[in-house]
Amino acid sequence: MSYIRAIFNRNSNPSDTNATIPADLQASWESLTPSSSNNNPRQQTRLHHLKLRGVDRMENMVKELGEECPWTKEVGPELMLSWLKSECKEVGKEIKEAIKNPSGNLASLKSELGDILFDAHMLNSICSRSFSFPPSETFEVGCKKVERRTPYMKSWGDGTKAETVEEAEKIWQQVKR
């Protein structure tokens, strides 16, 4: 079990037997040992997917859905956009609830934020399929746009100064034009 735990947690020490696996994945991990998956491509694919975390896992999921899911292959960008808008409304309600009760349970907010992230990735994938561009291009375009609008950032900026919210907003609006 410590081998599987070490694989699951990218930053863990292989000898660390205290690495945690989320309960919802425990059964999947137990059914996929290295020896049982070596000759089974389906199990190798499942093991690979389960090892992924965060953005990597979501990107893999969206890619696989786009390639294999009959429903995903047929859904168009307008329908996906309508679902994304609906999820944005739901997250708005959860944010209001979290503001009212900041020490409350944030599980619903996290769930709705996850829905938005998933739907946004799906919309990007569906648009890339429908309009023939690589999905990665939107990430590059988005990054370049924010980098241009925030030239005061040390990591990518040109030395422009913005020490107040007002200065940052002014620069953002000037560059946006």
Question: How far apart are alpha carbons 7 and 175 in whole angstroms?
Answer: 44
State which amino acid sits at residue 31.
S
Residue 13 has pLDDT above 50, yes or no: no
Dihedral (Cα; 131, 73, 64, 39), 10-degree rounding: -130
Residue 5 has pLDDT above 60, yes or no: no
What pLDDT was estimated at residue 102? 86
Asked if residue 152 lies in contact with residue 168, where contact means CB atoms within 8 angstroms, the answer is yes
Residue 35 has pLDDT above 60, yes or no: no
Q: How confident is the model at residue 88 (pLDDT cuts 50, 70, 90)?
A: very high
Nearest to 46 by CA among 1, 3, 2, 4: 4
What pLDDT was estimated at residue 78? 98
Q: What percent of the chain has pLDDT over 90?
A: 66
What pLDDT was estimated at residue 38? 59
Helix residue ranges per DSSP H, the chain: 2-8, 23-31, 34-37, 41-51, 54-68, 70-74, 77-100, 107-131, 135-149, 165-176
CATH number of the structural domain 53-133: 1.10.287.1080
Which pTM does this prediction carry?
Answer: 0.72
Residue 20 has pLDDT above 70, yes or no: no
133-169: per-residue pLDDT in tens? 999 999 999 999 999 999 999 999 999 999 999 999 9
What pLDDT was estimated at residue 71? 93
42-66: per-residue pLDDT in tens? 788 788 888 889 999 999 999 999 9
What pLDDT was estimated at residue 40? 79
Domain ranges of the chain: 1-51, 53-133, 135-177
Q: What tokens were used for 25?
A: 């994945």
Residue 108 has pLDDT above 80, yes or no: yes
